[in-house]
Structure 1
């Protein structure tokens, strides 16, 4: 299997962590991609031009990170990060949606600065996105996801979101959310794959 990703991609990191937790990372060949390069073949592999992309035998492609993670999970017996029944499934998937949403709103803020000259940046738009992140962190910090039982894709998504905030926003969230700092430290201790996939770039 070939995983198209990039060093700083939080969604690529999520896939890598899941692959390591499931014990299938050694079956992946990671190929770096550049979403800003119109000549990069990823735009053919995924017409949306987004990463990560998983390329399977027969040149089949799977995207996005949510689909790739569930695909990898389905290949492994005895371990599952995606509960299949009852409230546990919907809780895990909702938590994943919250973590992914934090990342989406954060990336939009990064792109606003990276892609627009300063005089064309929209302060209200930036505030709209940063408010999403704040509301999400406010909610999670009150009752962080329990690490006592089995871990799920939701735990991984939240950890990757916090890691991305460290990378792109200098960890400013840490001063306001000490409960989430402690939570991420506990997650890191339980899941060595988190530090092993530290963002680059």
Structure 2
């Protein structure tokens, strides 16, 4: 399998970390949707990262759909999703909050970096900023009440998604979402970044480096 996209995308990084934890081998191709648009379009005409080129040549898009497929390929013991309905519901709720925070972080970054200043609409930026802060505030409360495990053999998809989303936000918007206001999320991120699967796929312009 080939994972297409840059690791400065939290969605690409989420997949790269998860595939490792699921013990699924893959090749990472750091193709940018901005700098390598035409090259990306040859792989996936929609030019959406992450894209996963499967063994039969099929191309999947969207990190959640890619990971749903990855779960079907992995041995049951390597699943990142709980099977018990109550635990699965809890995991999905945390994932939803983390993905919402991630989406709003990306929107703010795009507004700042891609849209000319005179074209930016302040009420829209205020709205998505409020949504971003609300998502992280709710997630912080959830994780205080029910802490996530962050050990290599115990971390689940909620932990992966929350840690990746938080690291991205802190890398891109530290003045907007202050780490000191969310100590539980910062602690989760610090612990997750020490894991081999995270270290092998660091946020940034580099390439995933398989270990061993």
TM-score by length of structure 2 reads 0.83
Structure 2: segments with no counterpart, 5+ residues = 206-212
Cα distance in 2 for partners of 1:29, 1:113 equals 32
Residues 78-132 of structure 1 deviation map (CA, whole Å, 9 limit, x = unaligned): 2110223412222222222221111111111111122221111111111111111
1:196 aligns with 2:181: no
TM-superposed deviation, 1:179: 2.4
Displacement of 1:44: 5.3
Matches of 2:8 and 2:202 in 1, distance apart? Answer: 8
Task: Please tell me whether the aligned partners of residues 15 and 69 of structure 1 are also in contact (alpha carbons under 8 angstroms).
Answer: yes
Give the unaligned 5+ runs of structure 1. none
Which residue matches 1:79? 78
Segments ≥4 residues shifted beyond 6 Å: none
Aligned Cα root-mean-square deviation (Å) = 2.2
**Equivalent runs, 1:1-201 vs 2, <5 Å:** 1-24=1-24, 27-36=25-34, 39-43=37-41, 45-77=43-75, 78-144=77-143, 145-148=146-149, 150-170=154-174, 172-189=177-194, 191-201=195-205
**Equivalent residue pairs, number:** 198
Deviation, 1:161, is: 0.7
Whether the 8 Å CA contact 1:165–1:173 is kept in 2: the answer is no
Q: State how far apart, in whole Å, the 1-side matches of 2:178 and 2:3 are.
A: 30
Q: CA–CA distance in 1 between the matches of 2:36 and 2:198?
A: 31
Question: Does the Cα contact within 8 Å between 1:70 and 1:82 map onto a contact in 2?
Answer: no
Query: Residue in 1 aligned with 2:210?
Result: none
Q: TM-score, normalised by structure 1?
A: 0.87
Q: SS at 1:197's partner residue?
A: coil
